[in-house]
Amino acid sequence: MNIKKAKKGPAYKYDAALRRKIVEELLSGTILISHLQKKYNIGGCGTILRWVKEFQNEDQNLLSSGMEKPQDKNSEANKDKTFQDLEAELKLAKLKIIALETMIDVAEEQLNIEIRKKSGTKPSSE
């Protein structure tokens, strides 16, 4: 029985500080994985996703071992800020819903078609 071993490509090593920096950039929401790959010359998006999971697991281990994250201090102030942020997001979401419903109304009126689904309709059988 002749079994061939898979060829291994070059092993790229990235230090933990750089990996964490890349993960933080990704999680900030200001840059896409594909842009990070090009910026740091990383082969595949799976690598960055693996780093995200790795650092999430590390952070969970730190929390479960009793170590406090820096943002956990003054938790009451953080709760108030989070609550205010959520209220602001809810307000924006409600405004977006109103805008989208208005757009649907205008489209229905101008195009003379019904876009909204009627509540009593049955799905078509194909």
Mean pLDDT, contiguous 10-residue spans, the chain (126 residues): 57 79 84 86 82 80 52 65 87 91 88 80 68
Per-residue confidence (pLDDT) for residue 20, from 0 to 100: 87
**pLDDT tens digits, one per residue of 32-54:** 888 888 888 888 778 888 888 88
Residue spans per domain, the chain: 12-67, 73-115
This prediction's pTM: 0.41
**Which among 35, 60, 61 is positioned nearest to 48, based on CA atoms?**
35
Per-residue confidence (pLDDT) for residue 98, from 0 to 100: 92
Half-sphere exposure of 7 (CA within 13 A, CB side): 2
